Structure 1
Amino acid sequence: MTIHSTHPFADADPDPARRFRGRIGGAVTLWTAGDEQERAGLTVTSLMVALGPEPAVLALLDPDSDLLEVLRDSGRGVVQLLSWADRQLAEAFAGTAPAPGGPFRQAAFVASRHGPRLATATTWAGVRLAAEREAGWSVEVTAVLEQVEVGEDDDPLLHRRGRFQRSRA
């Protein structure tokens, strides 16, 4: 892993699609899957919730991520919304900040039937992997919402234009 002292794309002229995506922004989530023997996690901001008889979350995941492999093996995962206080944890699970001992050592997690859940997460969902397909350089996963806990999100962690931001509410 390389830690950059500056933004890796600061001098680059990214393509218009990347710049467009960066301006959409949204909530920062942590996806986790697995158990004590094998677990993985990934910071994810490219996602949406599809309502219906079987509500689901659709997300774009890195095809080379450990999370995708463990999610495929277990068929289950946890999607938790992060708060402003979790921004270092988000960097650790994104692989852009050091995480001595691994990212799961950076915070307390509790075991659930869907996988490890961040103990401080007030809003989270236990999900079941239902489908996946290639989408650009990512894998689009559809994960059915099987268990949902909605709490107070007083200080959500947001991501826009490559940076973490606070809500202006």
Structure 2
Amino acid sequence: MTIHSTDPFAVPDKDKSPVRRFRGRLAAPVTLWTTPGPAGLTVSSILVADGDPGRVLGLIDEESDFWDAVAESRRFAVTPLTPADRQLADRFAGLMPAPGGLFATGEWQQTAYGPIPAHAGTWLGCRLDSDRPCGWALLTESIIESVQVGGAAAPLAHFRGRYAELH
């Protein structure tokens, strides 16, 4: 077995569109979206908008098990991940094996919006409002119905195809 220092499946820069290369130069938060079912997906294409009500916009792969489950339940939880959650992020992104299923390891707290990692102090409960095709994904717009804000843990970020820590 060979351990790679880079993603062996990554598309080389020269083969990426200019838009994708530009997007890769923007740091993005790494979040976990989960829904009753349960199903989940690592999402870094996310925008949270304050307002009355607050909203979450996200780009979701319409071929994912998560999308199938959230399209049915119409609700989901969003949990920001920390540097300690790298393996969790990889598992839900499909980059790491998940024997027994995505939720088979770790401790989970059940919520009306889907399971969240038991250690998560900060998360949102959302209701899907609309979706439409947008580039390679579905642009989803959701209403924030519940907000839990815990301690200010350092976020896990995604930058140039790798995880980065902000201090």
Q: TM-score, normalised by structure 1?
A: 0.90
Q: Secondary structure of the residue that 1:165 maps to in structure 2? A: strand
Q: Distance in 1 between matches of 2:52 and 2:153?
A: 29
Further displaced range: 80-89 or 94-103? 94-103
Gap change, CA 1:11 and 1:72, over 3 Å in 2: closer
Structure 2: which 5+ runs fail to align? none
Q: Partner of 1:108 in structure 2?
A: 107
Taking the aligned partners of 2:10 and 2:73, their CA distance within structure 1 comes to 35
Q: Secondary structure at the match of 2:110?
A: strand
Shift, 1:98, TM fit = 1.2
In the alignment, structure 1 residue 153 sits paired with structure 2 residue 155: no
Q: Extract unaligned runs of 5+ from structure 1.
A: none
Q: Is the 8 A contact 2:123 2:147 kept in 1?
A: yes
Query: Would the alpha carbon gap of residues 21 and 11 (structure 1) be closer, same or farther in structure 2, given more than 3 Å must change?
Result: closer
Q: Give the Cα separation in 1 of the matches to 2:59 and 2:134.
A: 8
| CA deviation string 1:29-50 (max 9, x = no partner) | 000001xxx3100000001012
Per the alignment, residue 138 of structure 1 pairs with 137
Please name the residue that 1:26 is paired with: 28
Which one-letter code corresponds to 1:57 in the other structure? V
Task: Measure, in 2, the Cα distance between the counterparts of 1:10 and 1:132.
Answer: 28
Distance 1:117 1:65 in 2: 19
Output the aligned Cα RMSD: 1.5
TM-score (norm 2): 0.91
1: CA distance between counterparts of 2:117 and 2:70?
Answer: 17
Q: Report matched runs for 1:4-15 at 5 Å.
A: 5=4, 6-7=6-7, 8-9=9-10, 11-13=12-14, 14-15=16-17
Q: What do the CA deviations read for 1:57-76 (whole angstroms, capped 9, x no partner)?
A: 00000010111111110111
Give the drift of 1:10.
Answer: 5.6
CA contact (8 A) 2:61 2:137 kept: yes
Percent identical residues = 43
Aligned-pair distance for 1:78?
0.3
Tell me if structure 1 keeps the 8 A contact 2:13–2:21: no
Aligned residues: 162
- In the TM superposition, 1:1-169 aligns within 5 A as 5=4, 6-7=6-7, 8-9=9-10, 11-13=12-14, 14-34=16-36, 38-167=37-166, 169=167
Task: Give CA deviations for 1:123-154 in whole Å, capped at 9, x if unaligned.
Answer: 10000001101001100111111000111232
Query: What is the rounded CA distance, in whole Å, between the counterparts of 1:50 and 1:11 in structure 2?
Result: 33
Alignment-mate amino acid for residue 72 of structure 1: A
